[in-house]
């Protein structure tokens, strides 16, 4: 059984006031399971409804496989707006982890949705100093990038990169925890 109180406590411990002030767990149909506080519940429900609709639209293009190993079902949905970055990640087929993060004040008016199926390239891509994927053993001389700390590289990658790293880490933690406890969220088709 999902312990919503403990899960909400974990989410609260993993927020950042400007980079990722809101985290929540929901079903793909929009049912809220756990969330950070304090919260405007109306705003949260509106976001859950938006994410649910977008998830369903994009999941139709990436149908869930009968075998969980094929790389063709929707894994992550990134929604970029003028005010927020919203990243929804499937923890399990019927459970989504959502991170709502801030954006730089200089961001232009934008609305972009980027779906990722399992096995597809990460968005935003992790890049080397020249904007290309780093090549192992390229023979290139050491550079400033090689002496940069992980934090410095993250800052250079921008807010969305930092937010993506956070949701990646939380997803891994929750998947391991749920697997260790034998927890599997039942299909919420009956909730629709």
Pairs from 62-68 (Cβ < 8 Å, separation ≥ 24): 62/115, 62/117, 64/93, 68/93
**pLDDT tens-digit readout, 110-140:** 899 999 998 888 888 875 434 444 444 444 4
**pLDDT tens-digit readout, 10-36:** 999 999 999 999 999 999 999 999 999
Contact 177, 95 (CB under 8 A): no
**pLDDT tens-digit readout, 51-98:** 999 999 998 886 655 555 555 689 999 999 999 999 999 999 999 999
* Beta carbons within 8 Å of 120's beta carbon, 6+ residues apart: 71, 75
* Segment holding 26, helix H or strand E: strand 22-26
> Is the peptide bond preceding residue 183 cis, with omega within 30 degrees of 0?
no
Domain 4-180 falls under CATH 2.40.340.10 = no
Q: Is 80 helix (H, G, I), strand (E, B) or coil?
A: strand
Residue 128: its pLDDT value, please?
A: 47
Tokens of 6: 């403990």
């Amino acid at each position: 059984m999902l312990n919503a109180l403990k899960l909400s406590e974990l989410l609260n411990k993993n927020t950042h006031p400007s980079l990722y002030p809101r985290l929540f767990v929901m079903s793909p149909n929009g049912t809220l399971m756990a969330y950070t506080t304090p919260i405007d519940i109306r705003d949260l429900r509106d976001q859950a409804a938006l994410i649910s609709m977008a998830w369903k639209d994009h999941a139709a293009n990436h149908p869930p496989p009968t075998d969980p190993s094929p790389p063709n079902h929707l894994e992550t949905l990134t929604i970029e707006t003028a005010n927020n970055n919203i990243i929804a990640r499937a923890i399990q087929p019927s459970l989504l982890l959502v991170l709502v993060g801030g954006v730089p004040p200089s961001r232009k008016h934008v609305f972009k949705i980027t779906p990722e199926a399992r096995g597809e390239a990460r968005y935003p891509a992790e890049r080397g100093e020249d904007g290309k994927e780093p090549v192992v053993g390229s023979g290139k001389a050491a550079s400033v990038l090689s002496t940069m700390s992980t934090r410095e590289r993250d800052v250079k990658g921008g807010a969305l990169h930092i937010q993506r790293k956070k949701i990646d880490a939380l997803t891994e933690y929750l998947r391991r925890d749920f697997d260790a406890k034998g927890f599997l969220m039942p299909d919420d088709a009956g909730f629709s």
